[in-house]
Chain A
Amino acid sequence: MNKIILIIKREYLSRVKKKSFIIMTLLAPLLMAAMLIIPFWMMSKGDDTEKDIAVVEEGTSLFTGVIPDTKTMRFHYLEDASMEDLKTTFPDLGYYGVLYISPKQALVPGSVEFWCKQQPPLEVTMHISNALEKEIERLKLETYNISNLDEILASVETNIQIQTFKISGSGEVKKSNTGITMGIAYISGFLIYMFTFMFGAQVMRGVIEEKTSRIVEVIISSVKPFQLMLGKIVGIALVGLTQFVSWVVLTGVIVFIAQNIFLPDNMMEQIQSGQSIMSAVPAAAQASSPMPMNEAQRFIESIYSVEWGLIILTFIAYFMGGYLLYASLFAIVGSAVDNETDTQQFMLPITIPMILGLFVMLNAFQNPNSSIAFWFSLIPFTSPIVMMARIPFGVPVWELTTSLLLLVITFILTTWMAGKIYRTGILMYGKKVSYKELWKWLRYKN
């Protein structure tokens, strides 16, 4: 036992001390946090350079004063200006761009053109087209001579945003967001795939390294081959866990800090108060919520509502299960070959179920309860990847436990098998090994 701990320690430390590991561990959370933070920041901040925009109407002045100024856009309505001249001189006059509205036909402008030095952002063109559309609609309605038009318009204006709620068996209500849930499902499924492959392959490379450097026989004169294999597998599992946990913690810390720096305070307060109202009186309160939330706020709110604890826990469980299963298979491959180029022929049975799992996962995060997703989330070779894509949508407990139980039984079986093959394989040099040979090794006694 003591010796296994020594082996685990060596396997763990020799990898954790590597520069590539440290860089990966620090860099990935920065990227992930950036992925989470930047969209909100952009939404809340936007482009804050001030733009003066000249508006030129040909012949009429129907739209004068129609487009409201915003924080970053100011509209100047020029009369008697020649469009032809402005086209070339507007930058010198200090304008960001020129909006040209050509003569109207039955209230609809023949064309609306925006002249600018660079591609104008969507924000600018959307703002202009919205304002113009509204004004034209208003003008058109006016021709019907309806009295109290403004009142009627105000009263019919509606804006629908669908909010989804998950209700669990116990009647607990959770606000959810399909987009976010899908995103998390996809990311965690893919992460499991990546982790299993990455760290499984490390086991294989470790075994090959010990074989090619010819140290393996020195080691197994002190420890049993099975102990060496197990120590390596567990050591590398701990490396994977270290990486995952530090990613989660670092991402959390970075997001927390970034939120306080980049996001306006009132937005955070709103989100938090929105949360508390939500949990108290789910549906009714929302309708009378004093301030309608904007996209960014709703987004952040749904991120808060995700069951991170459950997802992280199941991720660790499935990573361990899936990794242990595949790592033992990778160990078999490593023990059967002399160098990495010979691994090809044995990789197929490992990569096929993994890639199959990945494909089913791509379907499952859109249809988490389809029968294909159900079955593949029970089959041990694909369950880690597929189940992770289903968990954010909510999975019945019995499915989760059955799937985990099957996974545990299978990895015990593959580890036992790997131990038998590994023991013989690591002492074989310069021999082309076939599947038949592996089968023979499996049946050797002792």
Chain B
Amino acid sequence: MDILKARNIVKQFSNHLALDKVSIHVPENTIYGLLGPNGAGKTTLLRIINQITAPDEGEIIFKNRKLKAEDVFDIGYLPEERGLYKKMTVGEQAMYLAQLKGMKRSEAVKKLRYWFEKFEIQPWWNKKVEELSKGMQQKLQFIVTILHEPSLLIFDEPFSGFDPINARILKQEIQDLKKKGATIIFSTHDMGSVEELCDHITLINRSRTLLEGPIDKVREEYRTNRFEVIFEGSPNLLDFTLSSQYKIIENIPVNGTQRLLIEIVDGISTNEIISSLLTKGKILSFNEKLPSMNDIFIQVVEEENKKTGRKSN
């Protein structure tokens, strides 16, 4: 079941079209990646889902009915441009934001205590926000986003500005949230995190959807018949005998073995390759090299830009 559907969303700003009939379908209890170059319209779409701006056309369906004002209580949003009141204390601030999300005081205190302990920021409760390090402020922002346990969480560029340690904690928490039953949408430029976390993706470019689907399917669709082979034997031998079946893209000797990246010629099965390789030496590893999301991203966006005859920004 889809927890959220956006249907043909159009948003026009005074001098440009931010979204041009964009549709997405976010299945329940998945991690959904919203990808696209800068200025593609990701943040606008997320703002529309959060009812910060209204679409000119199209509709958002949340839990099988039209999105309502009260749904903000069931959605958590961590915007790209995020901050806190500098002069407020950490505790007051967290309580304020929690209550704005409709939580009762007692409930908010209880949950905040849990999260503050988990993230080890309990001693900072009475400190002013301006005294906190950036990493701690980010933890606090994350806590107040998820505190009211919404069923849909939206993170806009969650990893920007995070150090690797905090980024790892954040990834861990995102996965935990999914385990607890939440659905997560996040937008990012970090393709590594997309591969690591996402079940589904949508790629938006120039206000339009270019690609949508489960990440595995997308990667398979863009597979390039490339395989990584780790092999003991003479690389020269391989070159001469097998060039009709594949191309060697890369050949790196590693500790007396060869790490090869090969592209198989169409029509040749992997079994044929393996059996011919077996006669030449010892295969230590053989696996398909699916294109990285990074490669797919660049390939798709550039193709599209060529088609429309404009340069990528």
Contacts and interface: CB of A to CB of B under 8 A. Distances in A.
- Same complex for A and B? Answer yes
A275 B84 CA distance: 59
A140 interface: no
A438 to B, nearest CB: 12
Nearest to B12: A444
Contacts of B141: 218
Contacts of B85: 14, 209-210, 213, 215
B88 A14 contact: yes
Contact of A446 (B54, B78, B87): B54
12 contacts: A14-B87, A209-B85, A213-B84, A214-B79, A214-B82, A215-B83, A218-B83, A221-B72, A221-B75, A224-B69, A225-B52, A429-B81
B210 interface: no
Contacts of B99: 6
B82 A215 contact: yes
A372 interface: no
Contacts of A429: 81
Interface in A206-252: 209-210, 213-215, 217-225
Nearest to B141: A218
Per DSSP, are chain B's interface residues mostly helix, strand or loop, or mixed?
loop
A214 to B, nearest CB: 3
Contacts of B79: 214, 217-218, 221
B109 interface: no
A429 B141 CA distance: 20
Interface in A411-446: 427, 429, 440, 445-446
Given A222-B72, A222-B100, A214 B83 contact: yes
Interface of B: 14, 47, 50, 52-54, 69, 72, 75, 77-79, 81-88, 96-97, 99-101, 141, 144
Question: Which of B75, B85, B141, B144 has the most chain A CB atoms closer than 10 A to its own CB?
Answer: B85
B100 A427 contact: no
B100 A440 contact: no
A217 B83 CA distance: 9
A127 interface: no
Contacts of A222: 72, 97, 100-101
Interchain residue pairs A-B with the least CB separation, the first 7 = A214-B83, A446-B54, A221-B77, A217-B79, A222-B100, A213-B83, A214-B81
Nearest to A228: B100
Given A14-B88, A214-B81, A218-B83, 17 more contacts: A6-B99, A7-B100, A10-B96, A14-B87, A210-B85, A215-B85, A217-B79, A217-B81, A219-B97, A219-B100, A221-B52, A221-B75, A221-B77, A222-B97, A222-B100, A223-B100, A445-B54
B98 to A, nearest CB: 10
B53 to A, nearest CB: 7
Given A14-B88, A221-B52, A6 B82 contact: no
Contacts of A220: 52
A7 B84 CA distance: 15
A223 B96 CA distance: 12
Contacts of A225: 52
Per DSSP, are chain A's interface residues mostly helix, strand or loop, or mixed?
helix
Question: Which of A7, A217, A445 has the most chain B CB atoms closer than 10 A to its own CB?
Answer: A217
Nearest to B148: A222
Given A14-B87, A429-B81, A440-B14, A217 B100 contact: no
Contacts of A446: 53-54
A278 to B, nearest CB: 53
Nearest to A214: B83
A3 interface: yes
A347 B97 CA distance: 32
A222 B145 CA distance: 11
Nearest to B73: A222
B100 A3 contact: yes
Contacts of A215: 82-85
Interface string A1-35: 00100110010001000000000000000000000
A78 B47 CA distance: 97
Contacts of B100: 3, 6-7, 219, 222-223
A218 B82 contact: yes
A224 B87 CA distance: 23
Contacts of A209: 85-86
A218 B52 CA distance: 10
A49 B141 CA distance: 69
A218 B77 contact: yes
A232 B100 CA distance: 14
A434 to B, nearest CB: 12
Contacts of B84: 213, 215, 218
A10 B100 CA distance: 11
Given A427-B52, A429-B81, A218 B97 contact: yes
Nearest to A2: B102
A440 B14 CA distance: 8
A355 to B, nearest CB: 31
Contacts of A218: 77-79, 82-84, 97, 141, 144
Question: Which of A209, A220, A221, A222 has the most chain B CB atoms closer than 10 A to its own CB?
Answer: A221
Nearest to B13: A444
B72 A213 contact: no
Contacts of B50: 221
